A and B are shown apart, each in its own frame.
Chain A
Amino acid sequence: DGGITQSPKYLFRKEGQNVTLSCEQNLNHDAMYWYRQDPGQGLRLIYYSQIVNDFQKGDIAEGYSVSREKKESFPLTVTSAQKNPTAFYLCASSIWSGEGELFFGEGSRLTVL
């Protein structure tokens, strides 16, 4: 059955370490997104990709990097430059960019110790 898989679900990291969150989809969607959720705030867009080998910065891209080498995969790296990395990260996809109905993964909770 189709969907979006994020891993790991929970991740702990020491300050100064980079960490990569995985996102895989088998929905054959062109567009993929990474959002961050913090308490009391809406989902904020980190990066999005409309097509393989292309991606765009969202509203809060600083301290993050992504790649889109395959249609199915859109990993997010949280670098040591990200000042407040502890958050809940959500990956999403849609048939095409601008199609508002997003399909979300179950999320990854990153805690920096």
Chain B
Amino acid sequence: DQQVKQNSPSLSVQEGRISILNCDYTNSMFDYFLWYKKYPAEGPTFLISISSIKDKNEDGRFTVFLNKSAKHLSLHIVPSQPGDSAVYFCAAGYGNKLVFGAGTILRVKS
């Protein structure tokens, strides 16, 4: 039972363009959402979060959008840089429970 789904296993984007990573969830109890970035052979690092009371949160080149009615969130990276190439995990949580998606591999081509 995958409560958090990242349906695109990979995404390839040209440097300077926008990267959009998507995430869908099924459990309406989730009230906070996060994105993590992971380089090979390293642990994930926290990127950006959003609580269910907001629909947008921005941090520099990274913006997370939340559509509660659609149970969908997305991460926008603009402009994309080669150093952004990594695996991106979305996660959704409530209380002590945090559920991760399977990840999307982003490749930014220069």
Residues of A within 8 A of B (CB): 4, 6, 35, 40-45, 48, 50, 56, 90, 92, 97-98, 100-107
Contact = CB atoms under 8 A, between A and B. Distances in A.
Given A41-B102, A42-B89, A105-B43, A100 B96 contact: no
A48 B93 CA distance: 15
Interface of B: 2, 4, 6, 9, 32, 34, 36, 41-46, 49, 89, 91, 93, 95-96, 98-103
Contact of B4 (A42, A45, A90): A42
A97 B96 contact: yes
Given A100-B32, A101-B34, A42 B42 contact: no
Interface centre among B34, B41, B49 (most CB of A within 10 A): B41
B99 A101 contact: no
B103 A42 contact: yes
Contacts of A101: 34, 46, 49
What 3 A-B pairs are tightest by C-beta distance, nearest first? A104-B43, A42-B100, A43-B100
16 contacts: A42-B89, A42-B91, A42-B102, A43-B44, A43-B100, A48-B96, A56-B96, A90-B43, A97-B96, A100-B98, A101-B34, A102-B36, A102-B46, A102-B98, A106-B41, A107-B42
